[in-house]
């Protein structure tokens, strides 16, 4: 359970926010949320999965979100709020709570802002935040303590940057983005030229990183600046924790990538892709739109079939992967059969 910061909401107010209607006591209030099977008085729950239907008749939750099409078979003690989609409605309440929780504003006296930097209205800068030269922080941006923002950076409206983030110079961050703690944006790309005697000379990385609107970046993710030009994370992209994005990579609109994935330099990933955890991309690849890639896949060549569903290392069509897995599991038996045939043949030839 989690309290709504000691705030109470009536069934009537919740129903109004969710465009639903109340069935029961419209004045009953809640200040907590809970699972329907663990509900206690003063909490709100939801019923979206039919396998939890039995709990609606025994839950002690005060309010339960249900579908407008839900038909009760027994008496329900809780007040019901009927909505089109209980799961989405519950998610909307959580979003509202999250927004209310993060309504910080004001600039800490311990923040350091260079004279040439500009900040908009209703900006929050926590203690030990550094804002570099010629950097622009627009309206309603929130930057939590111990964060470094380099020179010539631009951060657009309503973006939230949590503590311990490092954003290097020339980076551009769009509107309504969320960047979680420990993330590094705009560090040097991994560019080294081999020389004689197995030595390497660093190639200067003079590009930048562009993050478009409505992007969320998980904790401890690294996005490298381009060697030249820009590394680009397009609008609506969601990146999980612990992801490495190399120099000059482009990730298309609304693509989601799970934790511990690594994308090597100059690879271009299309829009609306879904990529599982620990996927590895070789460099200079092109991945087309609407591709789904399973966890731990190894991508070593372009993917040109839109809507492909792939898995394995090296990657292959998911159906073929499962067929191959079945065949591999039968290899010991097949080996035994081959050995038996070989022994029988040798015995036959010996006795002939």
Q: What is the CATH number of the domain that holds 169?
A: 2.160.10.10
Per-residue pLDDT of 54-89, as tens digits, reads 999 999 999 999 999 999 999 999 999 999 999 999
Min mean pLDDT across 115-119, 222-226, 300-304, 323-327 is at: 323-327
Per-residue pLDDT of 313-346, as tens digits, reads 888 787 777 777 777 787 888 888 888 888 888 8
pLDDT value of position 243? 98
Q: Are residues 258 and 340 in the same domain?
A: no
Mean pLDDT over each residue of the chain, to the nearest integer: 93
Q: Are residues 189 and 287 in the same domain?
A: yes
Domain count, the chain: 3
CB 237 within 8 A of CB 174: no
- Among residues 202, 218, 132, 144, the alpha carbon closest in space to that of 170 is found at 132
Q: H/E element holding 92?
A: helix 86-101
How crowded is the C-beta side of 71, counted as CA atoms within 13 Å? Answer: 1
pLDDT value of position 22? 97
CA distance 318 to 352: 49
pLDDT band at 95 (very low <50, low <70, confident <90, very high): confident
Q: Are residues 138 and 255 in the same domain?
A: yes
Q: 3-state class of 208 per DSSP? A: strand
Picking from 101, 117, 143, the residue at the C-terminal end of a domain is: 101
Q: Are residues 286 and 314 in the same domain?
A: yes
Q: Are residues 82 and 14 in the same domain?
A: yes
Q: Are residues 80 and 139 in the same domain?
A: no
Per-residue pLDDT of 255-265, as tens digits, reads 999 999 999 99
Look at the pTM and tell me if it is higher than 0.85. no
Per-residue pLDDT of 179-197, as tens digits, reads 999 999 999 999 998 887 7
Q: Are residues 87 and 158 in the same domain?
A: no
pLDDT value of position 100? 65
Per-residue pLDDT of 144-174, as tens digits, reads 999 999 999 999 999 999 999 999 999 999 9
CB atoms within 10 A of CB 151: 15
CA distance 136 to 157: 10
Q: Are residues 116 and 239 in the same domain?
A: yes
Domain that holds residue 337: 321-351
**Farthest-apart Cα atoms in the chain, separation:** 99
pLDDT(52) > 80: yes
pLDDT band at 271 (very low <50, low <70, confident <90, very high): very high
pLDDT(225) > 90: yes
pLDDT(120) > 70: yes
- Among residues 330, 329, 311, 331, the alpha carbon closest in space to that of 321 is found at 311
Picking from 66, 101, 136, the residue at the C-terminal end of a domain is: 101
Q: Are residues 209 and 291 in the same domain?
A: yes
Q: Are residues 85 and 172 in the same domain?
A: no
Query: CATH number for the domain including 89?
Result: 3.40.1390.10
pLDDT value of position 348? 74
Q: H/E element holding 103?
A: none
Q: Which has more pLDDT, 318 or 107?
A: 107
Q: Are residues 192 and 148 in the same domain?
A: yes
pLDDT value of position 26? 96
pLDDT band at 352 (very low <50, low <70, confident <90, very high): low
Picking from 101, 136, 159, the residue at the C-terminal end of a domain is: 101
pLDDT value of position 161? 98
Q: Are residues 299 and 169 in the same domain?
A: yes
Active site residues: 247
């Amino acid at each position: 359970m989690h309290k709504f910061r000691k705030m109470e909401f009536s069934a009537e107010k919740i129903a109004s926010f969710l465009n639903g209607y109340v069935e029961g006591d419209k004045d009953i209030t809640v200040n907590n949320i809970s699972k329907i099977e663990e509900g206690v008085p003063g909490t709100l729950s939801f019923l979206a999965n039919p396998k939890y239907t039995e709990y609606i008749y025994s839950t002690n939750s005060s309010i339960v979100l249900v579908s407008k099409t839900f038909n009760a078979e027994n008496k329900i003690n809780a007040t019901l709020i009927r909505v089109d989609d209980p799961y989405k409605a519950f998610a909307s309440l959580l979003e509202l709570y999250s927004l209310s929780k993060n309504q910080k504003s004001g600039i800490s006296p311990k923040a350091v802002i260079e004279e040439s930097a500009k900040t908009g209205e209703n900006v929050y800068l926590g203690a030990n935040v550094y804002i570099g030269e010629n950097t622009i922080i627009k309206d309603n941006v929130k930057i939590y303590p111990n964060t470094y923002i380099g020179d010539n950076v631009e951060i657009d409206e309503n973006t939230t940057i949590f503590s311990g983030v490092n954003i290097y110079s020339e980076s551009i961050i769009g509107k309504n983005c969320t960047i979680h703690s420990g993330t590094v944006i705009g560090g040097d790309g991994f560019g080294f030229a081999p020389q004689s005697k197995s030595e390497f000379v660093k190639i200067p990385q003079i590009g930048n990183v562009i993050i478009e609107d409505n992007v969320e970046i998980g904790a401890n993710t690294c996005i490298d600046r381009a060697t030249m030009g820009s590394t680009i994370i397009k609008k609506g992209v969601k990146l999980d924790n612990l992801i490495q994005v190399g120099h000059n990579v482009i990730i298309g609109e609304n693509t989601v990538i799970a934790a511990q994935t690594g994308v090597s330099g100059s690879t271009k990933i299309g829009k609306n892709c879904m990529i599982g955890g620990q996927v590895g991309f070789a460099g200079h690849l092109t991945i087309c739109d609407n591709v789904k890639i399973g966890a731990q896949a190894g991508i070593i060549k372009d993917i040109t079939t839109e809507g492909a569903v792939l898995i394995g290392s090296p990657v292959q069509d998911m159906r073929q992967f499962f067929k191959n897995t079945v065949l591999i599991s039968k290899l010991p038996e097949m080996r035994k059969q081959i050995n038996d045939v070989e022994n029988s043949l040798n015995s036959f030839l010996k006795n002939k």
